[in-house]
Amino acid sequence: MRSARFAALNRGEQRAVRYYSHMKLNMAEEEDYMSDSFINVQEDIRPGLPMLRQIREARRKEEKQQEANLKNRQKTLKEEEQERRDIGLKNALGCENKGFALLQKMGYKSGQALGKSGGGIVEPIPLNIKTGKSGIGHEASLKRKAEEKLESYRKKIHMKNQAEEKAAEQFRMRLKNKQDEMKLEGDLRRSQRACQQLDVQKNIQVPREAWYWLRLEEETEEDEEEKEQDEDEYKSEDLSVLEKLQILTSYLREEHLYCIWCGTAYEDKEDLSSNCPGPTSAAHD
């Protein structure tokens, strides 16, 4: 029956009926309160949104009740004493006070400084009431202990800083000594090498001391049993690097007129003394 009526309509009327039916279907879907669009709606709890009227009223009543309870509550004895004391200290002394009356009879006027010449105090001595349970002098004791603790802390920090500075200085000294020792060993090897070359040029086959040359220091260990050494002669293991360098430098300057730091062999002693700064490395810096 319905399809027959629909077929009897013209094409424009059929199009209108279809559009109306489609709109009706969409409205039915939108108004479905059991659909996910209504069930899964989450409450917007973003901050800054206005509160509901009932919540605001309840909070306002609670605040008023707290204020009323604070006003109506019974004050403690200490609070009442403090209030009476504050009121009494705010009010100036009147003629009903016997002490003030005696001052007025002696010529004192309100607001005037005490003393015959008016050089005394104007305001009364302030009243400092001790409300705590600690004994007299307890606060001074606490203050003294705090100062002692602070002084002890400062001493510890000072001693720590001194120890760190001393350790750093010792490290620098050890590093400097190590560098100086390495420099002395390098200068000694250069002197031994130069001594060997200069001795060979003069057809000297055996050095004056075994350690004067580099290559003979180990070979002389086998010949120690065959050679007799005088007690006044130096032994290589008994001399430090600095002593060896000093002895070898003196030998090179006297025998070969040579300075390892200048790197030059001079013509005579006068030329050596006038052109060479000195027999040490520091003199050449």
d(CA 102, CA 106) in angstroms, rounded, equals 6
Alpha-helix residue ranges (DSSP H) falling in 73-112: 77-90, 98-105
What sign for the dihedral angle of Cα 16, 17, 22, 25? positive
Determine whether 94 is exposed, middle or buried from the number of CB atoms within 10 Å of its CB (0-12, 13-18, 19+). exposed
pLDDT band of 232, cuts 50, 70, 90 = very low
d(CA 96, CA 86) in angstroms, rounded, equals 19
d(CA 84, CA 77) in angstroms, rounded, equals 11
Q: What is the pLDDT of residue 234?
A: 43
When mean pLDDT is compared across 10-24, 33-47, 60-74, 208-222, the lowest value belongs to 33-47
Q: What is the pLDDT of residue 164?
A: 92
Q: How far is CA 117 from the centre of its chain?
A: 60
Domain positions in the chain are: 154-212+237-281
Which candidate, 261, 265, 275, places its Cα nearest to that of 183? 261
Comparison of pLDDT for 119 and 74, the residue scoring more: 119
Q: What is the pLDDT of residue 216?
A: 47
d(CA 274, CA 144) in angstroms, rounded, equals 73
Q: Which long-range contacts (CB under 8 A, 24 or more apart) does 251-260 make?
A: 251/195, 251/208, 251/212, 252/191, 252/194, 252/195, 252/198, 253/279, 255/198, 256/195, 256/198, 256/202, 258/194, 258/198, 260/187, 260/190, 260/191, 260/194
What sign for the dihedral angle of Cα 128, 133, 135, 138? negative
Q: What is the pLDDT of residue 230?
A: 46
Residue-averaged pLDDT of the chain: 76
Mean pLDDT on 217-239 = 51
Q: What is the pLDDT of residue 284?
A: 82
Q: What is the pLDDT of residue 165?
A: 92
d(CA 188, CA 170) in angstroms, rounded, equals 26
Which candidate, 258, 115, 129, 112, places its Cα nearest to that of 195? 258
When mean pLDDT is compared across 121-135, 147-161, 165-179, 245-259, the lowest value belongs to 121-135
**How do residues 166-220 score in pLDDT, each as one tens digit?**
999 998 898 888 888 898 888 889 888 988 888 888 888 888 888 888 864 444 4
Q: Please, which residues bridge with residue 259 across strands?
A: 264
d(CA 176, CA 170) in angstroms, rounded, equals 10
d(CA 277, CA 260) in angstroms, rounded, equals 12
Bridging pattern class, strands 258-259 and 264-265: antiparallel
Which candidate, 244, 115, 116, places its Cα nearest to that of 190? 244
pLDDT band of 88, cuts 50, 70, 90 = confident
Comparison of pLDDT for 219 and 114, the residue scoring more: 114
Mean pLDDT on 86-110 = 80
First to last CA, the chain: 125
Q: What is the pLDDT of residue 10?
A: 55
Residue 157, pLDDT > 90, answer: yes
